[in-house]
Amino acid sequence: MEYLKALVLGLVQGITEFLPISSTAHVKVVPVLLGWGDPGASFAAAIQLGSVAAVLWYFWTDLAQIAIGSVRAIRKANYDALELRLAIGIILGTIPIVIGGLYIKLFVTDYDNSPLRSVAAIAIASIVMALLLALAEKVGLRKRRLNNITIMDALWIGLAEMLAIIPGVSRSGSTLTAGLFLGLERAPAARFSFLLGTPAILIAGLVELEAMFDSGFGDMGAGAFGVAMIASLVSSYLAIAWLLKFFQTQSTWVFVWYRLGFGLLLLILLGLGYVS
């Protein structure tokens, strides 16, 4: 049964990490609805390492080009080179969520059971972000591609990413929404969202993985944790590939309606006493 739980949690994590619907919310809520209880923030963050492996696998060529191109640009003093702008943007854009994460780690006691991780908070966050994504879809010009992105754009998107500390907001959802507001096309906005999210997911996963090693993997066990990681890796890779192709021809409205439905469903279940 533990391996089945791990498989389900890994698949939920992988599918929802890169879709703009909040992996943290689904990893918390789905097992609760299935009667398994909340796996906890540490387990949820640690299995994100499967998603990190997937994004590194999928974007390995892009990341290598950014790294090599940045070094070349610095040597030639070509500070407007796209690769260097992307590298600086990813670094600066990651700072806000790192600061937010450190604040929670150092100053928020018992975060697993804090009001921010409650079902009510997740439902409200899902609905609010659905409305913001709908607004971005409506007013966004969608005329800019990845080669037009500026360092200031990256910083704004990074500030939006910091909101993902709240379960239900969604890291990919908040950054995609910010990208659309800044006039980016959907696919480039999603692509930069994935690249920007890599350091944050990696840092969070490594920090919580150390805590899980210290606690002996909690109730799951090392084998079940490995199953969750592999499931997260495979499903994350497939989700990235599918979403980038989807946004080449489709809008974000399916995710707007899903998030609204998800949030309203949670509020109804909360009102009926099925979840707490």
Read off the pLDDT of residues 159-218 as tens digits, 9 standing for 90 and up.
Answer: 999 999 898 999 999 999 999 999 999 999 999 999 999 998 888 878 777 766 666 655
Read off the pLDDT of residues 96-130 as tens digits, 9 standing for 90 and up.
Answer: 999 998 888 888 888 777 888 889 999 999 999 99
pLDDT of 7 above 90? yes
pLDDT-derived band at 219 (thresholds 50, 70, 90) equals low
Residue carrying structure tokens 């609760």: 32
**pTM of the entire predicted model:** 0.92
